[in-house]
Structure 1
Amino acid sequence: MNELPPTGASVFGAVHLGYVVVQSNRRSDWRRFGADAIGLHVDELDGGALRFRLDDRTCRFLIERGPAEDATTLGWQVDDHETFERIVARVADRGVPIVEGTASEAALRGVERLWRFPGPKAIAQEIFTVPLTTPEPLRMLSSGWVTGEAGLGHVAIVSREPEAMRDYYRTVFDSRLSDYVDENISGLRMKIRFLRVNERHHSVAIANIRGMKIDPIRTRVQHINIQSATLDDMLAAFERVTELGFRMAWSVGQHTNDRELSFYSVTPSGFELEVGWNPVVIGPERESTWEPTTYRGISIWGHTPVGDTVLGKFAQFRQALRSVTTPEITVPQLAEASAGAGHVVPVVHSLRSRPGGDLR
């Protein structure tokens, strides 16, 4: 179930979600949503971009100008250069293009250097080793957020190719299955896989909608999760989102599998932001004995739908599912059970030949 890809030793535990890039033309809405409703620190950049901070990192969310109205990129921190090289080899040896980001891209994301390769559902994956930090005090309504070894939070994605997506993250990051949730939404049964790459219960959740011919979710991600430091912070954010008139998708509730208390609000770009508190942590003592479990239903209590949520979206698309066919983007080279013959693309050969092997 958790077999490892053959390119080098496991990288599990050395990879952490570092940042998310969102493309949007709703800058003022995002500023008000992030700073005034959720309670994040905001920095306004030249050129119209916004950055949100949760801790001493200069960037955890980058909102850059563009028409996508979606999360377009996931940035993953890798602990050391040896692990970085191992991941580069896994990607490049299967013929998947990997390119170095520009200096300006790295600066915007708050990292020294980064490398990019394609991911499922056209969500670019970026890896880096050195994040930029700042001594500037946080100016935010929240008292704090939980990041550290667990990374920024998690991302949830709806997929018609769940096995390919699961194998992608297992191949690249040695993800492990935490558990499953069986859920019924508007009469459509889904099995959700929860994958971890470190002590956070899951960094990627994949909702299986196999058999559907179109994706009922417009955005590439269904939601992104961040974790409040205190229960009071989470509840205060819920109140602000409501009072400021932003759309609430799901009320406060508690999940069955990771036991996190949370709510879901709709971002200005249309995907949801889950603000949670106190999920299960799979530390070393639990890691050695952890066994995946299947849970019936996503929530123990609460998480009732508010307004136009994914429930309504599924219902709206049920007729269209029978007649429309659209392919889902996958990266098949990284979703295979074993490595291919291996052809290193030129840019990676050049990158790996840098004097001193400096991959920062």
Structure 2
Amino acid sequence: MTVSVFGRVHLGYVVIETEHFDDWRRFGTDAIGMHHDPVSRDLMRFRLDDQECRFLLRRGPAEDVVATGWHVDDHTAFEEIEARLRSHGVPAVRGSAEEAALRGVERLLRFPGPKGITQEIHTTPLASPDPLRMLASGWVTGDSGMGHIAITSARPTRLRGYFDTVFDARLTDYIDETISGVKLKIRFLRVNERHHSIAIAAVRGLPIDPVRTRVQHLNIQAASLDDVARSYQRVHELGFEMALSVGRHTNDKELSYYARTPSGFEWEVGWNPVVIDESTWQPTTHQGISDWGHTPVGQTIVDRLDQFRLAARSLTRREDTVPALSGAGVPDD
């Protein structure tokens, strides 16, 4: 009998591969306001709370997110997810003690994920004895996990199928948006009380992916509106690129801005999104991403042309959806 793991899974950490260590250190600590821990010449970590690691950065050429780590509440849920992988013939590899220690967790398991982003599950995140040293007053994590990850895809239904199969993800809502004449449909999936831990954006009617990186953006939730405003100011003052100005989303009502990271994908700092009440929530479709704000900053016609070129190139690449877990054969809508 299959046991649901919904509500027992939380976004725990993210692994990023980059060569821009100095820029990332400045971006993470001096601009966004997180706690920084140097590990070695080729490794560093950021903290948001007492957990040892929320972002692990390793030296490498990807300039992208390469893995997402999901905290699973208990061994029963961990073993249920592992059994699902094996029943679908998907290889799952135990992480070494050293790999688990770098992530600040116990009992690490990794397996293939959509778009080449390795998925990892773990139990018992470890708390650091060291006090936080950061510019922000705090970040919202806890039962909701630490934020969300947004992905663009030419196969959105298959990605939704993947996260449903593995984590019993539920559809929260949709957003329909038109940007520069291109119609987008965005699916928002939750695995706990957070409005969404995964967002999947797709171009309607065209099997293209207009984003170079595997993720479009990462989100973390600030403890106060003042933290959002101060970090927004620091991003500007330190010369980091802003992607979208401050605004409020139509569906989760989160007030946020988007900066561009040293690796090129975007980083959303938000505040006060709605919390889902499972007894009353019904999925709906919203028109437009934002009630107000979130206007592009500094985008030129050259930037738009580059995006069109990336989209055209994506037609020649096969997007990895992990067919065994994604319901391959189901048409995308």
Shift of 1:134: 1.3
Q: Distance in 2 between matches of 1:86 and 1:336?
A: 19
Give CA deviations for 1:254-299 in whole Å, capped at 9, x if unaligned: 00000000000001111111000000011xxx21121001000000
- Change in 2 beyond 3 A, CA 1:320/1:91: closer
Q: Give the corresponding residue for 2:308.
A: 318
1:319-358 pair list within 5 angstroms: 321=311, 324-336=315-327
Q: Distance in 2 between matches of 1:159 and 1:76?
A: 21
1:4-83 pair list within 5 angstroms: 8-83=2-77
Q: Distance in 2 between matches of 1:319 and 1:265?
A: 23
Q: Extract unaligned runs of 5+ from structure 2.
A: none
Contact 2:8 2:192 in 1 (8 A): yes
Q: 1:290 aligns with which of 271, 277, 281?
A: 281
Q: Give the corresponding residue for 1:182.
A: 176
Shift of 1:251: 0.3
Shift of 1:216: 1.6
Equivalent position amino acid for 2:79 in 1: E
Equivalent position amino acid for 2:133 in 1: R
Q: Distance in 2 between matches of 1:317 and 1:70?
A: 17
Q: Give the corresponding residue for 1:351.
A: none
Q: Distance in 2 between matches of 1:29 and 1:304?
A: 25
Select between 9-18 and 104-113 the one with higher mean Cα deviation.
104-113
Q: Distance in 1 between matches of 2:74 and 2:302?
A: 44
Q: 1:237 aligns with which of 231, 238, 241?
A: 231
Q: Which has the higher strand share?
A: 2
Q: Does 1:126 align with 2:120?
A: yes
Shift of 1:211: 4.5
Contact 2:33 2:136 in 1 (8 A): yes
Contact 1:214 1:325 in 2 (8 A): no
Q: 1:202 aligns with which of 196, 206, 209?
A: 196
- Change in 2 beyond 3 A, CA 1:312/1:289: farther
Equivalent position amino acid for 2:177 in 1: E
Larger Rg: 1
Shift of 1:320: 6.8
Q: Distance in 1 between matches of 2:154 and 2:30?
A: 36
Runs of 4+ in 1 over 3 A off after TM superposition: 210-214, 311-324
Shift of 1:46: 2.0
Q: 2:297 aligns with which of 272, 292, 306?
A: 306
Shift of 1:47: 3.6
Shift of 1:113: 2.7
Contact 1:216 1:313 in 2 (8 A): no
- Change in 2 beyond 3 A, CA 1:179/1:312: farther
Q: Give the corresponding residue for 1:4.
A: none
Q: Distance in 2 between matches of 1:133 and 1:75?
A: 16
Select between 315-324 and 18-27 the one with higher mean Cα deviation.
315-324
Contact 1:159 1:210 in 2 (8 A): no
Identity rate, percent: 63
| Corresponding residue SS for 1:45 | strand
Provide the TM-score with structure 1 as the length reference: 0.88
- Change in 2 beyond 3 A, CA 1:290/1:213: closer
Shift of 1:337: 8.5
Select between 194-203 and 96-105 the one with higher mean Cα deviation.
96-105
Contact 2:209 2:310 in 1 (8 A): no
Shift of 1:313: 4.9
Contact 2:211 2:307 in 1 (8 A): no
Give CA deviations for 1:36-67 in whole Å, capped at 9, x if unaligned: 00000000012431100000000000011111
Provide the TM-score with structure 2 as the length reference: 0.95
Contact 1:161 1:210 in 2 (8 A): no
Q: Distance in 2 between matches of 1:300 and 1:200?
A: 20
Measured on the aligned residues, the alpha-carbon RMSD in Å equals: 1.8
How many aligned positions are there? 328
Select between 101-110 and 166-175 the one with higher mean Cα deviation.
101-110
Give CA deviations for 1:122-143 in whole Å, capped at 9, x if unaligned: 0000000111111211000000
- Change in 2 beyond 3 A, CA 1:320/1:84: closer
Q: Give the corresponding residue for 1:216.
A: 210
Q: Distance in 1 between matches of 2:174 and 2:267?
A: 21
- Change in 2 beyond 3 A, CA 1:112/1:68: same
- Change in 2 beyond 3 A, CA 1:337/1:325: closer
| Corresponding residue SS for 2:175 | strand
- Change in 2 beyond 3 A, CA 1:237/1:145: same
| Corresponding residue SS for 1:206 | strand
Q: Does 1:277 align with 2:271?
A: yes
